[in-house]
Structure 1
Amino acid sequence: MTTDLTVPARTGPDVASIQRRTLRLLFGTQIIGGIGVTIGIAVGALLAARIAGTAVAGLAQSAAVVGGALLAVPVTRIMNGHGRRPGLAVAYLVGAAGAVLVVLATVTRSVPLLFLGMLLFGGGTAANLQARYAAVDLAEPARRGRQLSLIVWATTIGAVAAPNFAALADEVTSGWGLPTLAGPFAFSAAAFVLAAGVLVVLLRPDPLLTARRLAAADAPVAPPAAPDVTPPPGAVVAAAPAARRGAGMRVAWQVVRGRPAARLGIAAVAVGHVVMVAVMSMTPVRLGESHDDAAVLRVVGIVLSLHIAGMYALSPLVGWLTDRFGRRAVILGGVGLLLAACAVAGTAGHHTPRLSVGLVLLGLGWSGTMVAGSTLLSESVPAAVRPSVQGFSDLTMGLAGAGAAAVSGFVMRAGYPVLTLLAAIAVVPLVALALRPVPAGVSDEPTGVSDEPAGASDKEE
């Protein structure tokens, strides 16, 4: 059983102080990590297209998404045993190693090395995504949506500016003998290492370990039994929470399967990500069809900056709406924005301003499904299995997004409008799930949610 000796005594002010410190620290590392992730994403498809061809440009992007998804499994295991701090740090360091491999692949023009590098580069995305869950470990129920969205929003500061740094990174690294488009990944590696170092040194006490300690203290404990007496069936014992920490993906699936709210949360996150990845990853290629090499990086930087602003800039408002009007309502609002985005971008032709509007709407729709879906998922499962379920959600989201990115490169042969049409069709199942009647006794309103203590029953209330 892992123990965090830095956890203070259980008092209201201490918990509030830990939460404020955790939010400030996560806010800062999200800025750094956002720069690292986005500056690579901004040129990833272009780099892959130049080394391996346009048809497989989407596969390179999907490799990063798959890497982020698969890394959710070992990162979750680390968090289960040791807390958020080492899990986030390991994910960032793997992302840094991947960025270095992409630089080497650019120098050697090695396609296998490029794909391996992009696979590991997904570690940066895995860390940024898992950080949002660390923000709600100690959050009050009525403020979960806002505090989760605050960490999502923090990515804006670095991510919006990052695509525009691509050209600058190339200029700086050209003196090192690096080829075009390699520089942004060198900057990504440095950003990931910095984020990991800050977390290792400063994220103390660990929010997940603190939350488990508090949940264990609140859990009912069976009266002491004689040494030769077996505890009665169903009795809650102090060791139960520790046993659940080893829960893997199979246990996570079993918990989610019996909880309609958790299923909706995972579906919202996954479907929103599928639509966003499919359309966004091929937008640089679309812009490359109508702009020459001298202008394409600048135009891609502007369009993706607007898209990322849509993803993150209004997330605090999305979080407030999630707490005020409920998780399900905001998920449906996000779905409507995703459909509008596909319609605008798909009919924009080569009109860059209209395409930019479509990408902003795409980001806003993703924000709605991500914030509301993640909040709904986190509060729908017991604390003892929450990290595993959150890892399962990110695994599902990543693999679904990877499939979309892989297919998008091939769909581009039929045209960008066809890609946006298929992305819109992918939203339909989520609409059906979100509109299903809520079972009696189940609510997605913040006032109706309780933070179930570790070791509590998994039965749906």
Structure 2
Amino acid sequence: MDLGVAFISQEKIDIQRYIDSPEEIQRLYKRTLWIVVLSQVFGGAGLAAGITVGALIAQDMLGTDSYAGIPTALFTLGSAGAALMVGRMSQRYGRRYGLSGGFIVGGIGAIGVVAAAMTDSIILLFASLLIYGAGSATNLQARYAGTDLATAKQRGTAISIAMVSTTLGAFAGPNLVGVMGKFAESIGVPSLAGPFILAAAAYLLAGTILWVLLRPDPLVISTAINKQVEQDTSSVEEEVEDRRGIFIGAAVMVITQVVMVSIMTMTPVHMRHHGHDLNAVGLVIGFHVAAMYLPSLVTGILVDRFGRVAIAVASGFTLLAAGLVAAFAPGDSLGMLIVALALLGLGWNFGLISSTALIVDSTVPATRAKRQGSIDVWVALAGVSGGGLSGVIAAQTSYMTLSLVAGILSFILIVGLCKVPGRAWKFSWKS
């Protein structure tokens, strides 16, 4: 009992130390960013496996293109449930529990995909992809951990640092498809399951890093600081959420996710039909994933400098360009497909970082993680729709039609954002 009381007392003392010292908060903020960066390097590698070969595994097992979008839909659906779980766990117990748990579950799912490929079990494949989706949800929610202790002027940059670190693993993952395929074959596993061996190891490592190092927990400290400020202030006003800001941020996330996932999912299948080998597919997806994350550091600075809504509009224009290039690029042109998928990744990057900053601006620490998790559920469900319908649309019409439909959605996003009141284009949503 005495040890328990001593532990609780020490925890309170540690929190009070951060409450009393802005310098200590900034030191913890920087340390948290480094931990998130380290975990995201591995998380990015785990994420890339499903993007690169998920559709191809289903195509081989089912023998048709019409259901090639199912793997993306399934692991995105799994990420929806995981986003809710990670958000609620983080709100109740802290980021450390939510994020480490999500990555470990994702790693278990990747192991299941490998087992499914070895046994040629489509049921096990689908079930494992659902579980594997937890890694994707956690990979996205990790970006919020970097903002818990950031000031308003640091939030865009904090999100960027968390995301840009994903580039190393995310770009390496697709380009290791050939290597991992040969390794898989050497141990008696189908070559397409090779990237999921990498994903399992990467997700488990990311979860372990967060569990061991993310102490003290940034969300716990942020919530404690906010409560202390409310107690100390003489004002009777309480900080409240900006529902309009949350809605606009969520809408930008949802639309950019639908556009990105729909084109990305069917590009490997489209390339295969035009004679491209697995290494070429890995190259295109590698450029795509790099464009999703590598520009993040610059994007964060732009978001903090020019405003959340302005960069969200830039996202719409970039995604529109991606849809048009993908639609009219010759199927045998590797260069044009790289350009299209790179634009697709960049547009998604603009949209995600600007909308994430807007959501952080518009929420309060007491409910922030829970709200973030709920929004990520809708984002994941949008990905499910994009991934599931993309195969049907491409099979019934063409890859060109699918890309043009995605471009139209991007245009709708631009029009909607241009109707947002002028004051919301300023640096701070609550200006």
The residue number in structure 2 matching 1:355 is 337
Please, which of 142, 150, 163 is the counterpart of residue 139 of structure 1? 150
The residue number in structure 1 matching 2:82 is 71
Please, which of 39, 52, 55 is the counterpart of residue 29 of structure 1? 39
Give the secondary-structure state (helix, strand or coil) at the position aligned to 2:187: coil
The residue number in structure 2 matching 1:60 is 71
- Using the TM superposition, give the Cα deviation of residue 279 of structure 1 relative to its aligned residue in structure 2, in angstroms: 0.2
- Using the TM superposition, give the Cα deviation of residue 44 of structure 1 relative to its aligned residue in structure 2, in angstroms: 0.8
Q: Is the 8 A contact 1:141 1:449 kept in 2?
A: no
1:381 aligns with 2:363: yes
The residue number in structure 2 matching 1:395 is 377
The residue number in structure 2 matching 1:420 is 403
> Structure 1 counterpart of 2:408, which letter?
I
1:320 aligns with 2:275: no
The residue number in structure 1 matching 2:5 is none
Please, which of 140, 164, 175 is the counterpart of residue 164 of structure 1? 175
Q: Is the 8 A contact 1:264 1:433 kept in 2?
A: no
- Using the TM superposition, give the Cα deviation of residue 100 of structure 1 relative to its aligned residue in structure 2, in angstroms: 1.1
- Using the TM superposition, give the Cα deviation of residue 428 of structure 1 relative to its aligned residue in structure 2, in angstroms: 3.8
Distance 1:310 1:296 in 2: 22
1:340 aligns with 2:321: yes
- Using the TM superposition, give the Cα deviation of residue 193 of structure 1 relative to its aligned residue in structure 2, in angstroms: 0.9
Q: Is the 8 A contact 1:55 1:409 kept in 2?
A: yes
> Structure 1 counterpart of 2:119, which letter?
T
Task: Note the alpha carbon deviations across 1:239-266, whole angstroms, 9 max, x for none.
Answer: x99xxxxxxxxxxxxx87x622211111
Q: Is the 8 A contact 1:334 1:366 kept in 2?
A: yes
> Structure 2 counterpart of 1:299, which letter?
A
The residue number in structure 2 matching 1:188 is 199
> Structure 2 counterpart of 1:411, which letter?
I
Give the secondary-structure state (helix, strand or coil) at the position aligned to 2:46: helix
Q: Is the 8 A contact 1:33 1:155 kept in 2?
A: yes
The residue number in structure 1 matching 2:388 is 406
Distance 1:40 1:66 in 2: 13
Please, which of 249, 263, 267 is the counterpart of residue 265 of structure 1? 249
1:13-28 to structure 2, matched below 5 A, reads 13-28=23-38
Residues 179 and 437 from structure 1, CA distance in 2 versus in 1: closer, same or farther, beyond 3 angstroms? closer
Q: Is the 8 A contact 1:30 1:151 kept in 2?
A: yes
- Using the TM superposition, give the Cα deviation of residue 189 of structure 1 relative to its aligned residue in structure 2, in angstroms: 0.7
Give the secondary-structure state (helix, strand or coil) at the position aligned to 1:55: coil
The residue number in structure 1 matching 2:271 is 287
Distance 1:372 1:160 in 2: 22
Q: Is the 8 A contact 2:245 2:429 kept in 1?
A: no
Segments of 5+ residues of structure 1 without an aligned counterpart are 224-233, 242-254, 451-461
1:150 aligns with 2:161: yes
The TM-score normalised by the length of structure 2 is 0.92
Q: Is the 8 A contact 1:261 1:444 kept in 2?
A: no
Distance 1:408 1:400 in 2: 12
Question: What RMSD in Å do the two structures reach over aligned CA positions?
Answer: 2.1
The TM-score normalised by the length of structure 1 is 0.86
Distance 1:221 1:320 in 2: 33
Task: Note the alpha carbon deviations across 1:237-296, whole angstroms, 9 max, x for none.
Answer: xxx99xxxxxxxxxxxxx87x6222111111111111100000011000110112xxx62
1:209 aligns with 2:223: no
Task: Note the alpha carbon deviations across 1:298-347, whole angstroms, 9 max, x for none.
Answer: 00111111111211111111111101110010000010000000001110
**Identity between Structure 1 and Structure 2 (%):** 36
1:275 aligns with 2:286: no
Give the secondary-structure state (helix, strand or coil) at the position aligned to 1:397: helix
Distance 2:236 2:27 in 1: 34
Q: Is the 8 A contact 1:97 1:120 kept in 2?
A: yes
Distance 1:300 1:448 in 2: 40
Q: Is the 8 A contact 2:18 2:221 kept in 1?
A: no
Q: Is the 8 A contact 1:139 1:147 kept in 2?
A: yes
Q: Is the 8 A contact 2:110 2:129 kept in 1?
A: yes
Q: Is the 8 A contact 1:141 1:446 kept in 2?
A: no
- Using the TM superposition, give the Cα deviation of residue 112 of structure 1 relative to its aligned residue in structure 2, in angstroms: 1.2
Q: Is the 8 A contact 2:37 2:162 kept in 1?
A: yes
The residue number in structure 2 matching 1:103 is 114
Q: Between 259-268 and 338-347, report the one with greater CA deviation.
A: 259-268
Give the secondary-structure state (helix, strand or coil) at the position aligned to 1:426: helix
Distance 1:329 1:446 in 2: 10
- Using the TM superposition, give the Cα deviation of residue 434 of structure 1 relative to its aligned residue in structure 2, in angstroms: 1.1
Task: Note the alpha carbon deviations across 1:401-445, whole angstroms, 9 max, x for none.
Answer: 111100001111111000001111222442233122428xx6453
The residue number in structure 2 matching 1:245 is none
Distance 2:41 2:206 in 1: 9
How many residues in Structure 1 have an aligned counterpart in Structure 2?
A: 417
The residue number in structure 2 matching 1:431 is 414
Please, which of 281, 288, 293 is the counterpart of residue 300 of structure 1? 281
Q: Is the 8 A contact 2:309 2:424 kept in 1?
A: no
Q: Is the 8 A contact 2:252 2:312 kept in 1?
A: yes
Distance 1:222 1:328 in 2: 32
